[in-house]
Structure 1
Amino acid sequence: MTQSPEPVELRPGLLVVPVQRQVLDDVVPAAAEHCVLVNVGRPYRLLETLDSRQQATTGLPGDVAVVPAGAEFAVRTRDGAPQDVSTLVVAVAPQLLDEALSAAGSHRTAGPAPVVGARSPAVATLARLLEAGLDDTSGLGRLMLESTGLALVAALARDHTTARTPTTAAPAGLSRGQLERVLRRVEDDLAGPLSVGELAALAAVSEFHFSRQFRLATGASPHQYVLSRRLARARQLLTATDLPIAVVAARCGFADQSHLTRHVRRALGTTPAALRAAGRGA
């Protein structure tokens, strides 16, 4: 039986879908996007055909296939019996891959190389993080997914394309005006989702340029910075107001009280209630 969950759009041009299915003899039609497939289940034994080349694969957990846009991908079992396969599929628009290379100061000379049954540690690790975070629908959860997805695209560009580096230097950090616009939006909308795409649009740069330049300007990734500001606002509200902890969580962009508690404990080694009591000298 095949399970076909709805794709999760991390941002335009970047989709993730977990697929659990029985494979016998399947053809995956050519797509307009580059597709990265990562085995997140048990080992399998398949014959995989990509770019007119057939390869017998023993799919270990974490094995990666990269199917370039426009390529047809076919799989069939070696023994003729159906096999259960669990795969995380990440669809990447070619333009997004080009943006990643451009942000790094490189130019693509070819699309991603077609590959099946490969060990690609960075891609596999990031795919696992995506899979683990798909159920977190909070604003911070979505921001983490988007950042992880963009990191996977960067790993795809680095490890699975041939690129050349121009003589011109990569862009420096954000200008003072760009940074002020972004930081002001963060402070004004801590309860909102604050996606990387939205913040990059404020700075008028691509997501890849933005993440790199923001780290140069602040020393933190967009996700790390937003989380730190949300925790600072929560601490202020806990110690200076009598708002219920659940309300504080909502006003600071956390999904609920337990979500706030988890991040406070991780960052500060305490709980919101204990933080409130300590702030009042209790």
Structure 2
Amino acid sequence: MQFVIYAMQLPLLSILYSSSDTVQDRDYFFDNYTRPRTPIACVIQRTRRGAAYLDDPQTRHIAQPGEAILFQHGEDTRYGIPEDSELPYENQWVCISGEAAPELLRGLISHTGRKLSMPDGSRASRLLQTIIEHYQQRSFEDRFHESTLAYTLLMACFRLSDTESTPLDIARQSQEYILSNYHRPFSQQDMAAHIGISREHISRRFKEAYGVSPGQYCCQFRMTRAKDLLSISYAPISEIARQCGFADANSFTRAFKQCYGISPREMKDRSSHTQNIQ
């Protein structure tokens, strides 16, 4: 209950837009001062190929591949493609809104500057890709899941200046992928492709760190989440199955019964009976 109270007091962030773009037009240009100030729009835009510039009243910042520019709609900044830069310009970006977003962005800019190093494989770049995938697939679990990913990305950006040269642990990357994607079906090959390491290497490192394979860890997490939902949610079993990453209720029922020895329906009925007694 205490966690729920804290979560309700914390201002929620939302993902207004998020995407990956390929730009072939050298006239690509935006003046943030002329863009709408509402809703709040704080942007992290990462270069994947080519380059982008961001002009503020003091200087021009050039973002090469693996670097990001930081800005807010309505402020006195402009961005585009440098004249001497090769095309295409490829980027990834997220537009974050919410009461706390401007202050967090100002703090990040104060800490890192308008240009942020966000190399391939960094936690921040992986979180950005995860947000893009969730946004495009409309697969955020709820507002809290969406807000948590936005906060986590911003915090990862704060840490980049201290950790960008530290090798990232493969087991931790795999765990983060599972926790961000457990609510949808995915294969270990999908995870390996996302992280950029072979499935066999991931499995070996994961088992060394957590004592189980990535598949077993994901199944255990889904079962724990399903048990919680069956205890507190009025949603039908088919919807709970979907929220826990199962393609259909039948496969969910088989996995749940194998784990707990009873069916999801029996678990739901037991929870309902207990609540009625209370």
Structure having the larger proportion of residues in helix? 2
Structure 2 length normalisation: TM-score? 0.46
TM-score of the superposed pair, with normalisation by structure 1: 0.46
Greater strand proportion: 1
